[in-house]
Amino acid sequence: MGELEHMRATRDGYDSAAAQYLALFRNAVPEHPLDNAMIGAFADFVRGASLPVLDVGCGPGAVTDQLRRLGLRARGLDLSPEMVALAREHFPDVEFAQGDMAAVDLPDGALGGLLSRSSIIHTPPEEVPAVFAEFHRLLAPGGHLLLTFQADAGAARVPQPFDHAVAPAYRWPVDRVTGLLREAGFHETARLVSAPELDPVRGFHYGHLLFRKPAEAGGAG
């Protein structure tokens, strides 16, 4: 599937499902203590920075608003115009924009933090390194990345496609993702892999990875 085709399928799928996603997930994160723990840790690391935080693949905006309530200068970005419209309607105190996470209209080093929750799963695996390179470009030295994704904690070494309700998707071996993040220039801070029984819909593991862009090029961070 070519780049334009996969983006079109993802955008159109989420446009159609936007209202349903708002109803399902507006209060979902507060019900999951492990998600909250990682989001809280991310917020604690980023809060002292003067730069804003970007929630890429923000959907209808609930987590972006949670970041705002945690004291961060949070903005949201999503490929789906319908998701962005709902986010603006329901969270008017937060800035939202429509766009591609692989080509964000911000200068180098503009962000103190970047959060990506299940936003890489619809990207063809061969294009994910370019997405991570864009995340690295966007973060200022010392900035933090929190990445969450449907994970494969078994013996698989490559991403595994699964039948997502909205658009084609992949779940990733955790070590493969951490390797790609290191290749993009990030250093690991922490990881958490939640048990599959905590995902009542599909029974997948979830990976939660907290990484940091080194404070100086080539430095230890």
Count of domains in the chain?
1
In a domain, 191, yes or no: yes
Kindly give the residue spans of alpha helices, DSSP state H, lying in the chain. Answer: 3-25, 33-46, 62-69, 81-90, 128-138, 174-183
Calpha distance 98→112 (Å, rounded): 20
Per-residue pLDDT reduced to its tens digit, 118-177: 999 989 999 999 999 999 999 999 999 999 999 987 767 899 988 776 677 899 999 999
Given the DSSP bridges, would you call strands 74-78 and 53-56 parallel, antiparallel or unpaired? parallel
Nearest residue to 46 (alpha-carbon basis) of 98, 134, 129, 114? 114
3-state secondary structure 64-81: HHHHHHCCCCEEEEECCH
In a domain, 198, yes or no: yes
In a domain, 109, yes or no: yes
In a domain, 220, yes or no: no
Q: What is the pLDDT along the chain (221 residues), one digit of tens a residue?
A: 444 677 776 776 666 666 776 666 666 565 688 999 999 999 999 998 889 999 999 988 999 999 999 999 999 999 989 889 999 999 999 999 999 999 999 999 999 999 999 999 989 999 999 999 999 999 999 999 999 999 987 767 899 988 776 677 899 999 999 999 999 999 999 999 999 887 767 778 999 999 999 997 544 44
Contact 16, 37 (CB under 8 A): no
Which residues form the domain of 109?
A: 3-212
In a domain, 61, yes or no: yes
In a domain, 218, yes or no: no
Contact 130, 99 (CB under 8 A): no
In a domain, 221, yes or no: no
Q: How buried is 68 (Cβ within 10 angstroms: 0-12 exposed, 13-18 middle, 19+ buried)? A: buried
Provide CB contacts within 8 A for 55, sequence distance 6+: 63, 64, 67, 74, 75, 76, 77, 115, 116, 117
In a domain, 217, yes or no: no
Q: How buried is 77 (Cβ within 10 angstroms: 0-12 exposed, 13-18 middle, 19+ buried)? A: buried
Q: What is the CATH number of the domain that holds 90?
A: 3.40.50.150
114, two tokens: 């970047």
